[in-house]
Amino acid sequence: MLTYCAGAWPGGDPNAIEVATSALPTGVYNQALHWMAVAHAEAYDYVHSESKNAMMPIVGVSHHVSFTRPYGLFDVAAVTIANSMTLFPFIDSICDKLDFIGINYYGQEVISGPGLKHVENDEYSESGRGVYPDGLFRILLKFNERYKSLNIPFIITENGVSDETDLIRKPYILEHLLAIYAAILMGVRVLGYLFWTTSDNWEWADGYGPKFGLVSVDRANNLARKPRPSYYLFTKVVTTGKITRQDRTSAWRELQEAAIQKKTRPFYREVDKHGRMYAGGLDRPIERAFVLRDWRFGHYEMEGLQDPLSRFVRCVMRPFPCKKIHYIEDDAISYSISS
């Protein structure tokens, strides 16, 4: 998608015709998916046929998934089309050649017109991914429902946030792990979790700008490595197998204090006058303030569609009772139940 449709990743320089026809069976997007599926099937069969020891190999794929939602009423169709292209078709084509399904999840994307909407009161990573732990929970349930008859387990093959300040990263880690735990309680079989990433890295569309690492890399000082505070928090969770209420509260309070003080951090996405973000990164970041919105798992409240008609309907319907969300919290997890 980012190569053959957006042209943001290497190898892709699409023309207008290629972009317009990419969703067709003969389009560049579907052709790329087809040959990736063929290559995976060949590799899967080869790895299994060459296994000589008693332990069978475990072969799967890393499938990038975002939680997408429409900004306005006229964006609903675009989200439906995007999900129909990106959620299940590739996994469907290789589901008989999978020992696990890998999920790469970073956050939510709000669709507005031809691009992604920059929602002012949402929290974002430096690379423009909306922070939304509930999305991982919902994605896991959705994929589990579709493939549970095949008994294929899941691995979270990528999950992380670009955040040079490290203030977002600490609660991001804890809240997404809680989301996974909630999915496990709901019957989703999750074999493992891989955090992206150990140290600051090169991003295809952003270079060395956004900082994803638990460990910082000083490129001006002989590539010196220095663990960030999130490194020690993640180490504690991994070694103890626990997320304490104290750690969760402390990480969140630290971020909220930065938001209250109106502190800023780098943001590597350009936003146009209509509030839409571009797929490519900026060479030099702009500054974006931390937000006060509660995006913790089980606490994020959707605002609904934001077009004038939808806002009017909500205003008219406000006196009438709606379905409410009750939050359940204990020392290990917080999740929501509709009533």
Q: Which residues touch 230 (CB under 8 Å, ≥6 apart)?
A: 166, 169, 170, 173, 214
* Catalytic residue chosen out of the listed positions 109, 126, 158, 175: 158
The 3-state DSSP class for residue 71 equals coil
CA dist 44 to 51, 56, 90, 100, Å? 11, 12, 15, 12
CA dist 154 to 98, 144, 212, 237, Å? 10, 9, 23, 20
Tell me, yes or no, if 158 is annotated catalytic: yes
Q: Strand (E) positions, 151-202? A: 154-159, 190-195
Per-residue tokens: 7: 């042209």
Q: Strand (E) positions, the chain? A: 60-64, 67-70, 100-104, 108-112, 115-117, 154-159, 190-195, 215-218, 224-227, 264-271, 276-289, 325-329, 334-338
Q: Is the four-CA dihedral 225, 228, 230, 233 of positive or negative sign?
A: positive
Helical (H) or strand (E) element with 31? helix 28-49
Task: Go through the chain and tell me how many residues it has.
Answer: 339
Characterize the bridge pairing of strands 100-104 and 154-159.
parallel
Per-residue tokens: 170: 């600490």
Per-residue tokens: 112: 């507005």
What amino acid positions are annotated as catalytic residues? 158
